[in-house]
Structure 1
């Protein structure tokens, strides 16, 4: 119906482009918000447990979170930051994550839903949520460092 040039012009005109600064900020805020959100959920679950259990679970989840950060999320964020900084000065706002990362986000959300609806005890769920949340929150600092 429309020639390719018209579609190309429409896409270019309506593409929500921003400066790279905003991509770094958006990515950092997203990683921080999700990480802290998972930590708050874990803390809520831990508040219903007894004293030694909740302390040991929180400590274990935090230590595992530091390991998750050091062995996985730090590398991902560094790669993401380099990818963002290699982009032109103005770029589509959705480029704060690589396109294949959006599929990973969906998979992680699905896994979170499966975990929440599983029969795992709150102790285990809290440790997992705290580990992932801590790793995400720690890794988000790399985005802010580059701004």
Structure 2
């Protein structure tokens, strides 16, 4: 009975779903940073955007692209319908929960000034957004079944 309740997708559509999740999360993190920047002066805004793009490019290249490629390889190895949440390894969900908790703590406690937090959020958001295109690329390469 549990198998019938599991939200299943063909692997091609799981690739698209994964890309949308990664893109959406990246956009959300950038909106946090942009919302904070209304209080910054011009030089701070330039710093945040520059640091965010540089940090995000590095994170995408040396971190998230490797994770995305690993996930894509695993998704392509599946046959039939796959649980919609199988785009990440189960261990990754623990890491995501820890990162969300730390992010919530940093946003709400004001221990780290938003001027320093914004480039981090923008960097991670930009990296997720960039890496999401690996999923889209695989989606368009995968034949329909």
TM-score (norm 2): 0.89
Matched, 1:139 2:131: yes
Q: d(CA) in 2 for partners of 1:80 and 1:132?
A: 18
Q: d(CA) in 1 for partners of 2:72 and 2:136?
A: 10
Q: Give the CA RMSD over aligned residues.
A: 1.2
What is residue 24 of structure 1 aligned with on the other side? Answer: 15
Matched, 1:128 2:104: no
Spell out, residue by residue over 1:82-110, the C-alpha distance to the aligned partner (whole angstroms, 9 max, x if none).
00000113212221221111111111111
What is residue 78 of structure 1 aligned with on the other side? Answer: 69
Runs of 4+ in 1 over 4 A off after TM superposition: none
What is residue 142 of structure 2 aligned with on the other side? Answer: none
Unpaired runs of 5+ residues, structure 2, are: 140-145
What is residue 90 of structure 2 aligned with on the other side? Answer: 99
Q: Secondary structure at the match of 2:78?
A: coil
The correspondence for 1:115, drawn from 91, 106, 116, is 106
Q: d(CA) in 2 for partners of 1:19 and 1:124?
A: 42
Unpaired runs of 5+ residues, structure 1, are: 1-9
TM-score (norm 1): 0.88
What is residue 61 of structure 1 aligned with on the other side? Answer: 52
Larger radius of gyration: 1
